[in-house]
Structure 1
Amino acid sequence: MRTLFSTADYKPKDSFRLWRETIFERIVPVELTPAAAHGFAGTLEAAEVGPLLMTRITQSAVTTVATPNTIRQHGKYETLNVAITLKGRVFCAQDDRTAIQHPGDIVVMDRRPATMGSDIDTQTLFVELPRECLERALGSTRRFTALTIGADQVGTSMVTTFFQELVRMAGRLTPDMSNRLSSIGIDLIVASIAERLAHETPRNIQGILIFQRALAHIEAHLGDVNLDPARLAAAVGVSLRHLQALFREQDRNIADWIWRRRLEIAAQRLTDPGFAHLSVGELAYNCGFSTQSHFSRRFKESYGISPSEYRCRNRGAPEIIC
């Protein structure tokens, strides 16, 4: 991994201020509060393997808070973070769930208000990956955010070992090998989370299958401007009320999910060179929006800027594949 920043290179009186500025500007806008007024130390290292951005943070005791305002500034709604605790003890809270992680434990944090912190020195490896890679296999992240995935699980142990080796070898991998190994890493994370969720109260298998079939139908018909909850229910062969209940079990609303996926796909295509020839209006229509004004309004509500501004800011961004 390459070192992006270390407080060892600066005067102690400037350490935390510079650390906070670096985290805010180069990693993610968050509010940081040190446990002690003096003596803060931190090292920030990073590596990229395929679509995965891995960041190893070694730091003194600190509390990190993601607020609605900082999340809007971040804007990375299409990704989420898997945090692997390597040293110390970390607590986190999100979606009305609070948990503590010890070395070897894993936790998933989404782009919603959250708090992470510790009362001792810690080292954590953050793996930023496309959210669709987890939600496509596991459903809403609200099922497992801030849920401790313990080091005692076989899958968790494999994830920790795999990613520690991956960051060690990152600089020596070919692009093809990077993509292959990143896919393996994502599969291991999915398996580890699934193993943890298996310990939760079992749900109706038939209901889960209907829910997954509904998600697949949405993905295949996002460009259909007539797709709505009633048509979706008819397509999967259940009543609208029953389908709404299945979505509520996954902390989702049918209509909201359809519009969210349309916006996410539109955002991906706005940065994909393969769709650069399409105007914003054409791209909007292909993603299921009946008018460009409707698309622009919803996009700005979700991403804080217009589709055109988003395209200009992210022009040339690589396509994420998982």
Structure 2
Amino acid sequence: MAQNCLGEEPFDATIDGVSIGGLDFTKFALRNLRAATTPRTLRHENHKTDHLFMSMVLTGTVRSDQNDRSSTDTAGDFAIRDTNTPWTIEHNGYSEVLAIAIPRERLEGVLGPARIFAGLTVGGELPVTTLTRSFLSNLLREGDRLPAHVAERMVGVGIDLVVASLAERMAQEVPRPVHGSVVVQRAKAYIEANLHDQTLDPPHLAAATGVSLRRLQELFHERGQHISDWIWHRRLSVAANRMADPGYLHMPLGTLAYACGFASQAHFSRRFKERYGLSPRDYRHRALSEAVAC
């Protein structure tokens, strides 16, 4: 990465970092700095990463360029930076930024390739962005007081809020070639937020996404997926993650099943065994035993 001072004013910087629930939070206080990576520096440095970086402006302004997008972010705004592709950031004057390293697959698994959203400013005035900023700020402040398993769960909530904010912003200005991808991404984000709702089905999802059921089915089929199968896939995956989480040990299997959108424990047990080859009870016992052994 190339760095240089902007103008004749002095440059200074401070960096503070902390890890919460496996997620790295880094606060930068910078003055008069320009940082950039180019195709040449990427080739020579070979610093590929499997993380994307959420950059939230706390004070001041930050100008950035990535993926043919240029923006000036102000306090409350955030953007995703992909350090595997060329980018430029300028801190002209004093600014403070909170950077959070998010596993790439957590964002791309729902929103699609990073090139679709990296460098896109998510405005701080959006209601969901306000919630995201408040939640992450509180998590940063209180994170060191949380038990490890609770911190990991709260980090998951924070990432879901980031996804929801990005999906809302992406829906505002959609280039036609990627419109279908954004519709599917919005649908998947809605599924994640409403897995507990037993009435969630393809017609319900189409109405919530603002497209016809036929169109939504076509978009999923183009990606080799079926709407109902995806809903059940996510319900089972979330249930499996919770059964492997010591923080949910107090929750009876029936309650956990209902919270993931299953109508009955019998229905949950049948589908779960078809997917994982074990009953929910045996799966929980094995997963928690392995966690203790580690």
Normalising by structure 2, what TM-score? Answer: 0.59
- Percent identity (aligned): 29
Please list every run of 5 or more consecutive structure 2 residues that lacks an aligned counterpart in the other structure.
181-215, 234-294
* Residue 84 of structure 1, aligned match among 53, 56, 59: 56
The one-letter code sitting in structure 2 at the alignment partner of 1:99 is: S
Counterpart of 1:281 in structure 2 is none
Counterpart of 2:144 in structure 1 is 171
Counterpart of 1:99 in structure 2 is 71
5 Å matches for 1:173-322? 173-201=146-174, 203-204=179-180, 205-213=216-224
- The SS at the match of 1:137 is helix
Count of equivalent residues: 189
Shift in alpha-carbon separation, 1:214–1:34, aligned structure 2, 3 A: farther
Shift in alpha-carbon separation, 1:67–1:215, aligned structure 2, 3 A: farther
- The SS at the match of 1:191 is helix
In the aligned structure 2, how far is the partner of 1:35 from the partner of 1:161? 31
In the aligned structure 2, how far is the partner of 1:75 from the partner of 1:206? 39
CA distances 1:36-71 after superposition (whole Å, capped 9, x unpaired):
455322110101112311110001021110233544
Shift in alpha-carbon separation, 1:167–1:215, aligned structure 2, 3 A: farther
**Does the CA contact (< 8 Å) of 2:30 and 2:91 recur in 1?**
no
- The SS at the match of 1:157 is helix
Counterpart of 1:137 in structure 2 is 110
CA distances 1:7-64 after superposition (whole Å, capped 9, x unpaired):
xxxxxxxxxxxxxxxxxxxxxxx21111145532211010111231111000102111
In the aligned structure 1, how far is the partner of 2:132 from the partner of 2:16? 19
* Residue 123 of structure 2, aligned match among 137, 146, 150: 150
Counterpart of 2:28 in structure 1 is 57
Please list every run of 5 or more consecutive structure 1 residues that lacks an aligned counterpart in the other structure.
1-29, 221-322
In the aligned structure 1, how far is the partner of 2:172 from the partner of 2:98? 25
Following superposition, the deviation at residue 210 of structure 1 comes to: 2.8
Following superposition, the deviation at residue 211 of structure 1 comes to: 4.5
Whether 2:29 is the aligned partner of 1:32: answer no
**Does the CA contact (< 8 Å) of 2:54 and 2:99 recur in 1?**
yes
CA distances 1:186-239 after superposition (whole Å, capped 9, x unpaired):
00000000011121237344453134436999xx9xxxxxxxxxxxxxxxxxxx
**Does the CA contact (< 8 Å) of 2:217 and 2:226 recur in 1?**
no
In the aligned structure 1, how far is the partner of 2:99 from the partner of 2:46? 16
Counterpart of 1:122 in structure 2 is 95
In the aligned structure 1, how far is the partner of 2:16 from the partner of 2:138? 15
Whether 2:21 is the aligned partner of 1:42: answer no
In the aligned structure 2, how far is the partner of 1:33 from the partner of 1:41? 11
Shift in alpha-carbon separation, 1:215–1:44, aligned structure 2, 3 A: farther
Following superposition, the deviation at residue 175 of structure 1 comes to: 1.0
Normalising by structure 1, what TM-score? Answer: 0.54
Shift in alpha-carbon separation, 1:211–1:183, aligned structure 2, 3 A: farther
Shift in alpha-carbon separation, 1:147–1:69, aligned structure 2, 3 A: same
CA distances 1:103-149 after superposition (whole Å, capped 9, x unpaired):
00010111211001121211000010111001110111111111110
The one-letter code sitting in structure 2 at the alignment partner of 1:162 is: F
The one-letter code sitting in structure 2 at the alignment partner of 1:182 is: V
**Does the CA contact (< 8 Å) of 2:9 and 2:32 recur in 1?**
no
Shift in alpha-carbon separation, 1:176–1:122, aligned structure 2, 3 A: same
**Does the CA contact (< 8 Å) of 2:60 and 2:94 recur in 1?**
yes
Counterpart of 1:298 in structure 2 is none
